[in-house]
Structure 1
Amino acid sequence: MTNPPSQFTPEELQQWQLAIAEADRHNIWCHCRQCDAEWVASTPVNCPDCGSDRVERISCWQFPDD
């Protein structure tokens, strides 16, 4: 099985991957499984409301911009 041709040049692909990695690092949607608080953070942190470490983290770039 072969890969389909890329729509990007190697340089464009690298730039795109770096942009996604940057968004990933700085925009993380967090949801506390203990007290149900929600917030956006740039690093993994415990819940600011209750201090719990039971936090679900999802990169914000995965959400649509509607």
Structure 2
Amino acid sequence: MRLGIAAAQVTLGSQPAECAIDTPHAALLAGQEATVALRREREQLDVANASKRRCYDFNSNQAEGLANR
């Protein structure tokens, strides 16, 4: 591994911690109306998608930096 790093002369930045963490589902509470549960789940999905977009952007920027060397 060290040989590859030395030969490439490239040090990749650490991936953001959020890229390795799953976004949990919204809690389902007893007696809660289905529409409320669905709305909260949709909000969690928006959070998860935003996180994945940031991770994608991070990795794309790394790849672009390598391609432009």
TM-score, normalised on structure 2? 0.36
The structure with the larger Rg is 2
Give the strand-richer structure, 1 or 2. Answer: 1
Give the helix-richer structure, 1 or 2. Answer: 2
More relative contact order in 1 or in 2 (CA 8 Å, sep 6+)?
2
